[in-house]
Amino acid sequence: MKDLEIIRSLLYSDLKERIEIQGIECSIDAHKERITALTDAIAECCSMSDINELLCIYSHLFNEPKGNAANLAFRDHQGLSVLSIQGTQNYVIDLLTNRIATDLEVIHEYKSKN
């Protein structure tokens, strides 16, 4: 499923960035293990319920707003926790919306140069 791969890649990018922002001091090997575990967990996601379970496991990454996307903090714009099913759905929609906005900026920039 190509659509699911897009969502998985967005989950990976967001959660990996959150891990790095969290800044836990650890060895390079321990960091690689965390990223490998994240990658493996995301690969298992096949439904919104799976994504919700993933976010429950990584809930500690949502305690503080992320630098460039504070709207993806622990609670969404409606005050829902990302750990609720509806909050998880809103989180995924926000990831996709941010991706679309970024793509549109890139496309617009490309077209303005040609």
User: How does pLDDT run across 92-114, given as a tens digit for each residue?
Assistant: 998 998 888 888 776 777 677 65
The number of domains in the chain is: 1
Q: Structure pTM?
A: 0.77
Q: What pLDDT score does 74 carry?
A: 57
Q: What is the C-alpha separation between 77 and 1, in angstroms, rounded?
A: 29
Which residue range is the domain that position 67 belongs to? 2-113
Nearest to residue 63, comparing CAs of 8, 11, 19? 19
Q: What is the C-alpha separation between 101 and 111, in angstroms, rounded?
A: 15
Q: How does pLDDT run across 4-57, given as a tens digit for each residue?
A: 899 999 999 999 988 888 777 778 888 899 999 999 999 999 999 999 999 999
Dihedral, 45, 94, 68, 15 alpha carbons, nearest 10 = -10
